[in-house]
Structure 1
């Protein structure tokens, strides 16, 4: 007897929870359609909402990938060398190019061939290769144009060309 009462109480609790979850308060409608059908409809609506959210998430991921590719393309298109003369024989060098290869090694070898000393340098490979350096030439007659040509050859471009080509 006590077991039947407990089952009835637990069934009433579950039905009450289902009514609350489905926002169903009208007792007249409960008699017309069973709570199981209402619960099924509620679950179906939740599944549809979940599918919509998944679709929106996939669209956002695709949009994110598209913009990241655009940013990477813009970074990779900026292959250049900028050189500023600070004082006689001292230059500020800024190099940006695409990732890959031994760019740093090639640039340092080019500095060595020009007989320049690197006083300070900062290198980054986050979105392509970039380097900022202060170099001091042993020969005071070194020109900005000469440094520019040597560095362009070192990173794989001939001076005056837009595309990069390995020498």
Structure 2
């Protein structure tokens, strides 16, 4: 008899502990365990989302987004694209507008498996513009 009552008390304590961890409002053990399983499933989904976001950040490390706004005139666009080619970068997406000033937004990828340094790219672009 004593063993059975101790076992029941231990199970009651475990259910209470599960109920507090999962923020469950139910008292029945079936629903407490269902809430715990639901909580575990949600945590797994959150973990997968974090892993996916981390892999996206690692993939972004190999590409760089650069935006420019320059006064019109000269062959600035050609010299900027030549700088990208000299650095071994591939332009995967570019948007250029030439209304009042030259506006360029480009996403560049490294051809080789190396990390891109935004400062070095910016310095090379400014040197190419100053040459004009």
Q: Is the 8 A contact 1:97 1:155 kept in 2?
A: no
TM-score for both structures, normalised by structure 2: 0.52
Q: Which aligned runs of 4 or more in structure 1 are off by greater than 3 angstroms?
A: none
Greater radius of gyration (CA): 1
Q: Which residue of 1 aligns with 2:102?
A: 129
Question: Within the alignment, does 1:113 sit opposite 2:115 as a pair?
Answer: no
Question: Within the alignment, does 1:147 sit opposite 2:121 as a pair?
Answer: yes
1:104 is displaced (CA, Å) by 0.8
SS at match of 2:83: helix
**Matching residue within 88, 93, 98 for 2:61:** 88
- Distance across 2 between alignment mates of 1:141 and 1:131: 22
TM-score for both structures, normalised by structure 1: 0.41
Question: Which is bigger in relative contact order (C-alpha 8 A, separation at least 6)?
Answer: 2
Structure 1, unmatched stretches of 5+, are: 1-85, 157-165
Q: Is the 8 A contact 1:89 1:138 kept in 2?
A: no
Alignment of 1:31-46 (within 5 A): none
1:141 is displaced (CA, Å) by 3.0
Q: Is the 8 A contact 2:63 2:116 kept in 1?
A: no
Post-superposition Cα deviations, 1:46-71, rounded to whole Å, max 9, x if no partner, equal xxxxxxxxxxxxxxxxxxxxxxxxxx
Structure 2, unmatched stretches of 5+, are: 1-58
Provide the alpha-carbon RMSD of the alignment: 1.9
1:89 is displaced (CA, Å) by 1.7
